Amino acid sequence: MQKKIRKIVIVGGGTAGWMVAAALAKTLGTHHHDIVLIESEMIGTVGVGEATIPQIALYNSVVGLDEAEMMRETNATFKLGIEFRDWRKLDHSYFHPFGFYGVDMGGISFSHYWLRWKKAGGNLDYTKFNVETEAARDEKFLRTNDDNNIYMPSVNYAYQFDASLYAKYLRMISEKRGVRRIEGKIVDSAQNAESGFIESVKLENGQSVTGDFFIDCSGFRGLLIEQVYKAGYHDWSSMLPVNKAVAVPCAKNGPPLPYTRSTAREAGWQWRIPLQHRTGNGYVFSGEFISEDEATARLMNSLDGEPLADPKVLKFTTGVRKKSWIKNVVSVGLSNGFLEPLESTSIHLIQVAIAKILAMFPGDQIQTGLVDQYNEEMHWEYDHVKDFLIAHYHVTERDDTPFWNYVRTMEIPDELKRRLETFRNRGETLCHKSELFKEVSWFAVLYGQGLEPTGYHPVANSISEDDLKLRLAKIRSGIQDRLNGMPSHQEFIDRYCAANSLMSA
Amino acid sequence: MSRPIETITVVGRDAALWLSALGLQRAYGKVGVKVHAIELPSLLQPNDVLSTLPTTYGLHGLLGIAENNVFRFAKASYVLGQRFAGWSGSRPPFMHPYDSTGTNFGHVDFVHFWQKAQRAGMNVPFENFSIGAVAAAQGRIADLRESATPFSKAAQGFNLDAFSYGQLLKAYALKSGIAHSQGILEKVDVAEGAVMSVTLADGTRHEGDLFVDATGPQASLISQLDEAGPDSWDHLYPCNRMMVMAGAPVSPAPSYSHIQAFRGGWVGMFPLQDRTAIVAVYSDDELSDEDMTQSVPVLSSVPVSGDAVVSSLNTGLRRNAWVGNCVALGEAAVMLEPLDAVSLHPLHTGLSLLVDHFPAAADAMPQARLFNRKFAGHMENIRDFQLAHYRLNQRYDEPLWDRAREMETPERLAYKLSTFKATGQVPLHDDEAFEKENWTSIMIGHNHLLDQYHPLVDGVPDAELMQRFQAMLKFIAEEVSEMTSLSAHMELYAPQKPRSSF
C-alpha cells in the first residue's frame, strides 16, 4: 500500500533543484506538503552564465518573481535572440530572433509572402521584418509588455543571467516560503522492499531523510533515477557529437549586447553571453575532434576581455533517460538528460518538467497511467529539441574541418529529413503545435544555415502584388516606429534593473 | 490657306527640355505631329535639387511616367509639406501640409473654432488638426485609408535629384519616339517675329513650325523675339543670392522639407534618398558667400560635404512667354525663389496651357495672348504665396526681415492678407496653385490670426467643441499610425545596400 504523498524531497540544489523547490512551494504550498531540499556545498553546480528563452517568463510569473528584482539579483541582461556566426560558412552571420517575422496572413506564415516577394525581385531582407533582429543590431531594448499599441510589434525577450545567482535567488524565495534546506552529501538510499519505492536517503553524516516523493536534481550522475533505478539512457552523441565544454568568464568589453552569440568553431561552437558585469564564454566541443588543451587554448585566445577565472571543463553525453519518472522518483535537469545549450534550452527543459510534474502531481497514489504519459511527453520534448539542434549542424556549407565534414554528412532522423525536404520545396517547416521551436525559429535557422526554399505556399499568391507591397511597407513602418522609440539596451537596464555594484563585484 | 503644325522643335536642356518634349509628344504625337528635341549642354550643378508639389502626380500621369520609377531612379523622397522654422521670432516651427486642416462645423470654417479655443487657452497648434501635417512630422507617406479620405486629402510631392530626374525623363522621352539632336546652340534665325530655324555648332540647321524654348534662364530663343524682356520682381524679394550644398541624409527619413529662416535669409533642407539637399537663399547685404558657406552647417545641423555652388538669384516674369511661333516654358518664362516646392510648377503650368491652347495653324497663333495672360496670372499667384512668408515674418530688428515686411506688396496679396485677418476668408482668383487650406495654413502658421472669429462659433457649447477637438485628434493619431513610413517605403522601393552583419 502506497503512503499518501506528504513529504517531497528534492535531491540536489543548483538551478534545477531550486527551480523545482520554488515552484512547488508556491503551487502546492508548504502547509499540506513538507518540502525538503538536500544539497551539499561540497558539490559544485554547473551554473555558468546562462541564456534563456521567453518561456521563462511563464515560470517566473507562476513562482511570482518580480522581474526587475530578479534581474538585479542575477546580473541579468535582456536577450532578443541568438546570433549564429560562421555556422553556414565562415564570415557569415545570421540571427535567430524571439518573436515573429512580419504578420501572418490568410492562415499561413509571413515567410511565404516574403518568399513570393523575393522571387519577384524584392530586395529587402526578411530579417528587416522582425523587430527583435533590428533591435539587436542596434543594441536597443524596450519592454513592451504593458504597451497596447496595435500598430507596433511587441518586443519578445528572455534573459541572460548568472544561473548560480538565479538559483541563490530562488533558494531565498523558497526558504521564505517554508522549504527546508538540509546540508549534506547523499551516500545511500533505502527502498521499500515490496514496492521498490524510495523511502529515504542517507547522508554522509549518518542522518536519514525520509520522503514520499523524490525529485532527482542530482546532476549528470542521476543519483536515484540511474544509480538506483537504472533508467537507461538514449545516447544521441552520434548526431550531436559534442561531449565536452570549457567555460570561463571574462571582463566585459563594452555595454552588454542584448543577445547571445554562438560562433561555430573547428570542432563545435563557442558561446558568448553578456551579463551586466561580465561576459560568460564557453567552447562546446567534441573530444573526438579536438583535445581539451587545444580547445581551452582556442577559447582563451578568442576572449574579448580579460579572463576572470580559470577555465572549467565539463563532460557530458548528449541524450535523455529512457524513463524520467520511475516509481516515486522524477528526474529533472541534468539528471534527466543533456542537450547542449545551443538554443538555450537547459532551463526550459527544467521548466517543462516542473509544469508537467505539477499537472500530473499525484494525490494519494501514483497512477501508472500518468507516469507513462509523463515519460512519453518528456521524451517527446527532448526529442524535438534534439532535431532542431541537429539541423544547425547538418544544414551547413562548412567543409573546412573533419568535425564539420562529419556533421554535414552524418545520418539524421527521418522526421528531420522530411522537414528539410519540405522546407526546401515550399518553405514549410511541419511544426507540431506543441513543439517548443515554432515555424519562425525553424525558418530563421534553416534559412540562416543556407537552405533557401525554391517555392512557397500557394495561398501566398492570393493577394495582389500592390497589396502585398503595401502590407510589407506597413509592417516595416510599425517596426521602424517601434525601433525609433527604443532606448539602448544599457540605458534600459540602467533605469529598470541595474545590479547593485557592491554585489556584482 | 492655313497649314497645321507638323513639327515642334524643342530646344533646351535638363528636365525642362525632356518634360516639354515628352509632354508634347504624348499629347500630339499620336495625331502625327513630329517632336524634335534639341539637347543643349546641361547647366546643372552636381547637387541641384528639385522640390515639387503633389501636382507633379498629374504631370507624371500626363507623361506616362510611373511614380515608382521616379522614386527609384531620381533618388527621390516624398514630401507631405514644408516646415517653417524661425520665421516668427521665437515661436515654434509650423508645418504647411499639402492637406486641409480640421473639419468645418456647419458652414463655418474650422479655423474660426480653432481660434476661439486658442484664445480660451487651448494649447494645440493648428497643424495638429491636419492629417497631412501630423503625418509629415512623423515621417509618413500619404497613403490614406479610406476611412481618412472624407477628412483629409493629404498628398505628397517629390524632392528629386535634378540630374537623375533629368536622365530618367530623357530615357522616357527617347523611348516615346521623338527625334533627338544634341549640340551647342550657335544661332537662332528670326524673321517677321518668328523663329525660322536654329543652328548648332556642328553646322546643322533645324527648322520647325512651333519652337519651344526650354533653355532655362538663358531664354536663348524667346529673348530674340520678346523685345520687352521679363518684368523683374527683384524689388519684391529681399534676397539676391543662392547657394546649393549637400548634407548627410537624416535618419529616419523625414517626409517634409525644412525651411529655416536666419538673420540673412533662409536655408532649406530637402531630404533625398542619398543626401539632404541644402539650398540657402540670402542677401549679400547681410552676409558674404564665404560667411554663408560657414553658416550652413550650423543652420542645417547636418554634416555638410562637397563644394558650395553659389549663384545670383533673380526673379521675374516674361509677360510675353509666347511670341510668334515660340513658346517659352520653365525658367525661360519665369524665375521664382526655390521656396514652396514650385520647382516644376511653372513648367507644368506652361506645358498644360500649351497643350490646351495648341495652335491650330502654323502661320498664325492668336492663342499666344490668352496663354500669356493665363500664365502670368498663375505665376503671380505663386509669387504672392512666396511673398506672403516674407511679408508675415515676425523677426523684428533684423534689417533683412524688417525690410521683407515693409517691401512693396502686390495689391492682390495685400487684399488676401487683410481679408483673411478680418474674416477668415481667402479670396481666391482663377489659376491659383495654392488653395484656401494652403493660404490658411501659412497665415495661421506665421501668426497672422483672425481679428475675430465667426459669430456662429459661439453657438457651439464649449464642452462640445472640446469633445469634437479631442475626437479629431484621436482620429488623426489613429489614421497616421496606419500610414506607411517613408523609411519603410524607401527600403522597399529603392535600391538597397547589402547588409554587413546579421
State the pLDDT confidence band at B74, using cuts at 50, 70 and 90.
very high
Q: Is A499 a member of any domain?
A: no
CATH number reported for the structural domain that contains residue B291 in this entry: 3.30.70
Confidence band, pLDDT 50/70/90 cuts, at residue A44: low
Q: What are phi and psi of B207, to 5 degrees?
A: -100, 180
Q: Are residues B336 and B472 in the same domain?
A: no
- Binding residue ranges of A for FAD: 13-16, 334, 347
Who among B482, B485, B491 is closest to A124 (CB)?
A: B491
H helices within B104-244, ranges in order? 110-119, 131-137, 162-175, 222-225
Residues in chain A within 8 Å Cβ distance of B252: 480, 484
> B484: nearest CA in chain A?
A474
Same domain, B227 and B331: yes
Facing residue for A480 by CB, picked from B485, B495, B502: B485
pLDDT attached to residue A504? 43
- Nearest CB to A473; choose among B489, B495, B496: B489
**Claim to verify: residue B459 and residue B478 sit in the same structural domain:** yes
Q: What is the mean pLDDT of residues B259-275?
A: 97
CA-based nearest residue in chain B for residue A94: B502
Question: Per the domain annotation, does B1 fall within a domain?
Answer: no
**Residue B375 shares a structural domain with residue B226:** yes
Contacts of A480 in chain B (CB under 8 A): 252, 485, 487-488
The secondary element (H helix, E strand) that includes residue A154 is none
pLDDT in tens, B348-361: 999 999 999 999 99
Chain A residue with minimal CA distance to B485? A477
> Are A173 and A98 members of one domain?
no
- Among the listed residues A4, A7, A26, A79, the single catalytic one is A79
- CA distances (Å), B3 to each of B179, B213, B235, B361, B364, in order? 22, 22, 44, 5, 9
A467 touches chain B (CB under 8 A): no
Distance linking the first and last C-alpha atoms of chain B: 75
- Please provide the distance, in angstroms rounded to a whole number, between the alpha carbons at the two ends of chain A: 54
Query: Closest approach of chain A CAs to the CA of B487, in angstroms?
Result: 7
Contact: B502, A93; criterion CB under 8 Å: yes
pLDDT tens digit sequence for B171-202 = 999 999 999 999 999 999 999 999 999 999 99
Contact criterion met (CB below 8 Å) for B38 and B220 = no
Out of A145-159, B259-273, B317-331, pick the least confident: A145-159
What CATH number has the domain bearing residue A280? 3.30.9.100
> Is residue B129 located within the same domain as residue B266?
no
pLDDT at A7 over 90: yes
> Domain span at residue A207?
7-77+161-237+321-384
- Is residue A334 domain-shared with residue A359, that is, in the same domain? yes
- Burial status of residue A453 (CB atoms within 10 A of its CB: 0-12, 13-18, 19 or more): buried
d(CA A188, CA A183): 15
Chain A (87-126) residues lying within 8 Å, Cβ to Cβ, of chain B = 93-95, 122-125
- Tell me which of A151-155, A375-379, B161-165, B383-387 is least confident: A151-155
Determine whether A79 is an active site residue. Answer: yes
A296 at interface of B, judged by CB pairs closer than 8 A? no
Are B220 and B322 members of one domain?
A: yes
Same domain, B28 and B98: no
Q: Which of A93, A136, A472 sits opposite B492 (nearest CB)?
A: A472
A66-124 per-position pLDDT tens digit: 999 999 999 999 999 999 999 999 999 999 999 999 999 888 999 999 999 999 888 88
Whether residue A266 is found in the same domain as residue A400: no
Q: Are residues A305 and A415 in the same domain?
A: no
Rounded to an integer, what distance in angstroms lies between the CA atom of residue A200 and that of residue A192? 9
Range list of H helices, B177-335: 222-225, 289-300
Is there a domain that residue A427 lies in?
yes
Q: How many pairs of residues across A and B have Cβ atoms under 8 Å apart?
A: 58
In chain A, residues with a C-beta closer than 8 Å to the C-beta of B496 are 123-125
On whether residue B492 sits in a domain, the answer given is no
Q: Do residues A263 and A195 both lie within one domain?
A: no
Please write the tens of the pLDDT for every residue from A220-247. 999 999 999 999 999 999 999 999 999 9
Nearest C-alpha neighbor of A79 from the set A287, A292, A276: A276
Note the pLDDT of residue B2: 78
Find chain A residues with C-beta within 8 A of B485's C-beta. 473, 476-477, 480-481
Chain-chain contact of B140 with A477 (C-beta, under 8 angstroms): yes
How is residue B485 annotated by DSSP?
Answer: B
pLDDT digit string, tens, across residues A314-340 = 999 999 999 999 999 999 999 999 999
Residues B459 and B387 both lie in one domain: yes
* Closest chain A residue to B491, measured at CA: A124
The DSSP-derived string for B376-404 is HHHHHHHHHHHHHHHHT---TT-HHHHHH
Whether the CB-CB separation of B404 and B262 falls below 8 Å is answered with no
Q: Cβ–Cβ of B488/A93 closer than 8 Å?
A: no
As a whole number of angstroms, the distance between CA B278 and CA B296 comes to 8
- Cross-chain residue pair A481–B485, CB shorter than 8 Å: yes
- A343 and A249 share a domain? no
Q: Using a CB-CB distance cutoff of 8 angstroms, which residues of chain A are in contact with residue B481?
A: 149, 151, 481
Closest CA to A371 of A434, A327, A336, A335: A327
Per-residue pLDDT at B306: 81
CA distance A298 to chain B (A): 23
CB-CB neighbors (< 8 A) of B491 in chain A: 124, 128, 476
Q: State yes or no: pLDDT of B278 exceeds 90.
A: yes
CA distance A477 to chain B (A): 5
Contact A470 B487 (CB under 8 A): no
- Of B426, B444, B445, B422, nearest to B436 by C-alpha is B426
Please say if the pLDDT value at position A434 is more than 90.
no
Looking at the domain assignment, is residue A19 inside a domain?
A: yes
For residue A2, is it within any domain?
no
Instruction: Let me know whether A290 and A368 are in one domain.
Output: no
Q: Do B499 and A477 touch (CB under 8 A)?
A: no
Judge: B485–A137 Cβ closer than 8 Å, yes or no.
no
**CB-nearest partner of B499 from A83, A84, A125:** A125
> Would A23 be classed as within a structural domain?
yes
Q: Is A389 inside a domain boundary?
A: no
Confidence (pLDDT) at A2:
60
Classify B204 as helix, strand or coil. coil
Residues placed in the known binding site of A for 7-chloro-L-tryptophan: 79
Given a cut of 70, whether residue A48 has pLDDT beyond it is no
A477 interaction partners in chain B (CB closer than 8 Å): 140, 483-485, 487-488
Model confidence pLDDT, tens digit, residues B211-249: 999 999 999 999 999 999 999 999 999 999 999 999 999
pLDDT digits (tens, 9 = 90+) for A214-226: 999 999 999 999 9
CA–CA gap between residue A166 and residue A70 (Å, rounded): 8
The pLDDT value recorded for residue A45 is 59
Q: Which residues of A are annotated as part of the binding site? A: 13-16, 79, 334, 343, 347
What are the chain B neighbours of A148 within 8 Å (beta carbons)? none
**CB proximity A484 to B under 8 Å:** yes
> What's chain A's average pLDDT?
94
8 A C-beta contact, residue B79 and residue B269: no
- In whole angstroms, what is the distance from residue B335 CA to residue A43 CA? 87
Contacts of B499 in chain A (CB under 8 A): 125, 127
For chain A, the domain total comes to: 3
B421 in the same domain as B410? yes
Query: How close B75 comes to chain A (CA, Å)?
Result: 17
Q: Give the CATH number, domain containing residue A337.
A: 3.50.50.60
The verdict on A407 and A482 lying in the same domain is: yes
Looking at the partner chain, which of B484, B487, B502 has a beta carbon nearest the beta carbon of A474?
B484
Letter string b/e over residues B202-214, b meaning 16 or more CB atoms within 10 A of that residue's CB: eeeebebbbbbbb
Final residue in a domain of this structure, among B380, B403, B425? B380
Region B12-26: mean pLDDT is 97
Do B91 and B188 have their domain in common?
no
Does residue A188 share a domain with residue A128?
Answer: no
Give the DSSP letter of residue A453.
-
Mark whether B478 and B397 lie in a shared domain: yes
CB contact under 8 A, B502 and A473: no
Q: Kindly report the nearest CA distance between residue A92 and chain B, in angstroms.
A: 8
d(CA A238, CA A407): 9
pLDDT single digits (tens) A351-390: 999 999 999 999 888 999 999 999 999 999 999 999 999 9
A429 and A474 co-located in one domain? yes
Same domain, B129 and B253: no
**Region B84-90: what's the mean pLDDT?**
92
d(CA B112, CA B454): 6
Of A277, A293, A315, which closes a domain? A315
Binding-site residues from annotation of A for L-tryptophan: 343
pLDDT at residue number B107: 87
Question: pLDDT grade, residue A453 (50/70/90)?
Answer: very high
Instruction: Decide which of B295, B310, B325 is a domain's last residue.
Output: B310
Minimum distance, in Å, between the CA of residue A484 and any CA atom of chain B = 8
pLDDT of residue B498: 66
Query: Does residue B191 fall inside a structural domain?
Result: yes
Worst-scoring range by mean pLDDT, A210-219, A290-299, B297-306, B367-376? Answer: B297-306
Structural domains of chain B, count: 3
Chain segment B141-156, per-residue pLDDT in tens: 999 999 999 999 999 9
How high is the mean pLDDT of chain B?
A: 95
Chain A CA closest to residue B494: A123
| B481 contacts A473? CB cut-off 8 A | no
Handedness of CA A225, A226, A231, A237 (dihedral sign): positive
> Domain span at residue B302?
241-310
Asked if residue B403 is part of any domain, the answer here is: yes
B256 in a structural domain? yes
A81 → chain B, closest CA residue:
B502
Strands (E), A185-243: 186-191, 198-203, 208-210, 213-216, 233-235
Q: Which of B282, B310, B338 is the last residue of a domain?
A: B310
Chain B contact present for A130, CB below 8 A? no
Contact status, residue B349 vs residue B303, Cβ threshold 8 Å: no
Rounded to whole angstroms, how far apart are CA atoms A51 and B329? 68
Predicted pLDDT of residue A106: 86
Domain containing B212 — which CATH number? Answer: 3.50.50.60
Same domain membership, residue A481 and residue A405: yes
Among A148, A480, A482, A484, pick the best mutation site for testing chain B contact (most B Cβ within 10 A): A480
A355 domain residue, yes or no: yes
pLDDT of B495? 73
* A15 φ/ψ angles, rounded to the nearest 5 degrees: -60, -45
Residues in chain A closer than 8 A to B71 (CB atoms): none
Q: Do B483 and A484 touch (CB under 8 A)?
A: no
Say yes or no to pLDDT of B366 above 50. Answer: yes
Asked if A474 reaches chain B (Cβ–Cβ under 8 Å), the answer is yes
CA distance B61 to B66: 8
pLDDT at A81: 97
**DSSP characters over A339-351:** --GGGS-HHHHHH
Residues A357, A223 within the same domain: yes
**CA-based nearest residue to B410, from B230, B264, B231, B259:** B231
Q: How confident is the model at residue A8 (pLDDT cuts 50, 70, 90)?
A: very high
